[in-house]
Amino acid sequence: MTATTAQAPILRARNVHKAFGSNEVLKGIDMDIAPSEVVAILGPSGSGKSTLLRCINRLEEINKGFIEVDGEQIGYKLQGDRLVALGSAAIARQRSKMGMVFQSFNLFPHMTVLQNVIEAPVGVHGVKRREAVELATGLIEKVGLADKLNAYPRQLSGGQQQRVAIARALAVKPKILLFDEPTSALDPELVGEVLATMKDLAKQGLTMIVVTHEIGFAKEAADRVIFMDGGHIVEQGKPEEILVNPQRERTREFLHRVL
């Protein structure tokens, strides 16, 4: 966690628009994320939070504006003074600078915990197997699952599976970690262990964008809270400002409903 924003942003989004057919979902998003910053995105269902994350890691293509991660425009490269659309291999390489953790874990069911975590480093990044195993083992320990290296996802609780998914996202040494409601699918008693893992990562200086309804997490772990509604950023600021003393009626209404 850091409060400084003096460094160049690791992510810049400018005037990002995204529509599905005639349904305009993102209506001009501007956002800078500083290295090591932890940002919580709150907002009602349908406000475009998942779409924004999916545009950042290019699971969706934007219609207007740009998104830059680590100095590179997502989906494009500069050729001379012209922007040229990237092919799928180059897009995969850009995407691999980001780790994404979904609501539904998305582990490979036929692979062990260790195999899940080394899959991308070995398969996509060409890391040597021995090296990948060493890194993965450390990450699996870090999320508290050292004794589950050879277990299969079905043998784990939801909370344990989600922690494996976090280790897997970390295994590609991402510049940014994106979380889309990582605890929404969990039984209430399993939410805490996943949030604790995420708070650890926040303290270690990872850059994180976390879409969540966990106000407690936003309050304790986020440097900044962004409130989205109707495809816009309605309001943003320090957690104590936004969560305690929101300025906009829509933010107030939302917080009343979830608190």
List helix spans (H) across the chain: 49-56, 88-95, 113-123, 129-142, 158-170, 188-203, 215-221, 239-244, 249-258
Say if residue 203 is exposed, middle or buried (CB neighbours under 10 Å; 0-12, 13-18, 19+): exposed
φ, ψ for residue 177 (rounded to 5)?
-105, 130
- Between 45 and 79, name the residue whose CB sits nearer to ligand ADP: 45
Stretch that binds ligand ADP, among 45-53, 100-108, 144-152, 238-246 (CB under 6 A): 45-53
- Between 42 and 172, name the residue whose CB sits nearer to ligand ADP: 42
108 contacts which partner out of Mg ion, ligand ADP, none, CB within 5 to 8 A by kind? none
Q: Is 79 in the site for ligand ADP (CB under 6 A)?
A: no
- Between 9 and 231, name the residue whose CB sits nearer to Mg ion: 231
φ, ψ for residue 65 (rounded to 5)?
85, -165
- The DSSP-derived string for 155-175 is GS-HHHHHHHHHHHHHTT--S
Residue nearest to Mg ion (CB): 50
- Between 49 and 175, name the residue whose CB sits nearer to Mg ion: 49
Smallest distance, ligand ADP to C-beta of residue 47, A:
4
Interatomic CA distance for residues 27 and 18, integer angstroms: 7
Question: Residues 10, 37, 49, 233: which binds ligand ADP (CB under 6 A)?
Answer: 49
Smallest distance, ligand ADP to C-beta of residue 228, A:
7
Encoded one letter per residue, x for contact with Mg ion by CB under 5 A and - for no contact, window 49-68 reads xx------------------
Q: Tokens 């480093």 identify what position? A: 121
Interatomic CA distance for residues 2 and 181, integer angstroms: 23
Question: Residues 31, 36, 37, 43: which binds ligand ADP (CB under 6 A)?
Answer: 43
- Between 50 and 197, name the residue whose CB sits nearer to Mg ion: 50
Nearest 5°: the CA angle 61, 62, 66 is 120
Site size with Mg ion, rule: CB under 5 A: 2
Q: Which residues bind Mg ion (CB under 5 A)?
A: 49-50
Q: Which residues bind ligand ADP (CB under 6 A)?
A: 20, 23, 25, 43, 45-51
